[in-house]
Homo-oligomer: A and B are copies of this chain.
Amino acid sequence: MKRLVVDMDGVLADVYSQFIKKHHEESGEWLSIDTMAGLYEGEVFPYARKHINTKGFFEDIPVMAHSQEVLAELIKHYKVYIVSAAMEFPLSLSEKQQWLDRHFPFISWRQRVFCGSKEIIRADIMIDDYLRNLDSFEGETYLFTQPHNSLIESDRHKRVKDWLEIKSILLP
């Protein structure tokens, strides 16, 4: 069984939607995701660092569309690991655990990894929205489309625009 590493923020968890919501709560302003192509979260959301370091930010992040149903199928064909670069944000650790318990209860604690850097992760396939994680990975790589990476053209990593595209590629 091939080992499949799946990122959390920006792949399973819809962080842009959460930032947009938190930005609205903070400022009363609704930002449109259509204006964010090619920009990192910190460039778009002036309170990004404050919000990400506030208790509760990771607790109710929306689930990425179709990720639950597709991942529930993928675990029948792959050894799936959720690997999140969570160490930078200490508050996030328990919130992320609880979020996975709630939305992905079929991914046990045995299949979860919280790390600082992903450069010591070994598996066959990786799905991630950040090039810095995919670049150091030795296996097959999929760049999950998010605003910040949407203008990048990569020869090395295949782009997937959503979970339905992952389904069509990785499931029989």
**Interfacial residues, chain A to chain B (CB-CB below 8 A):** 3, 5, 81, 83, 87-88, 90, 93-94, 97, 108-117, 120-123, 138
Find chain B residues with CB under 8 A from A90 CB: 94, 97, 109
Find chain B residues with CB under 8 A from A115 CB: 112-115
**With the chains together, A88 CA to B97 CA distance in Å?**
11
Would B110 and A87 count as touching, CB distance under 8 A?
yes
Find chain B residues with CB under 8 A from A94 CB: 90, 93-94
CB-CB under 8 A for A5 and B111, given A93-B94, A94-B94: no
**With the chains together, A114 CA to B88 CA distance in Å?**
13
Would B123 and A109 count as touching, CB distance under 8 A?
no
- In addition to A87-B112, A93-B93, A120-B122, 17 A-B residue pairs with Cβ atoms within 8 Å of each other are A3-B120, A81-B120, A87-B97, A87-B113, A88-B109, A88-B110, A90-B97, A94-B94, A110-B116, A110-B117, A111-B116, A111-B117, A113-B116, A114-B114, A115-B115, A121-B121, A122-B138
Find chain B residues with CB under 8 A from A138 CB: 122
Find chain B residues with CB under 8 A from A114 CB: 87, 93, 113-115
**With the chains together, A81 CA to B115 CA distance in Å?**
10
**With the chains together, A94 CA to B90 CA distance in Å?**
7
12 pairs of residues in contact across A and B, judged by CB atoms under 8 Å: A3-B120, A5-B120, A81-B120, A83-B120, A87-B97, A87-B113, A93-B97, A94-B94, A113-B113, A113-B114, A120-B121, A122-B122
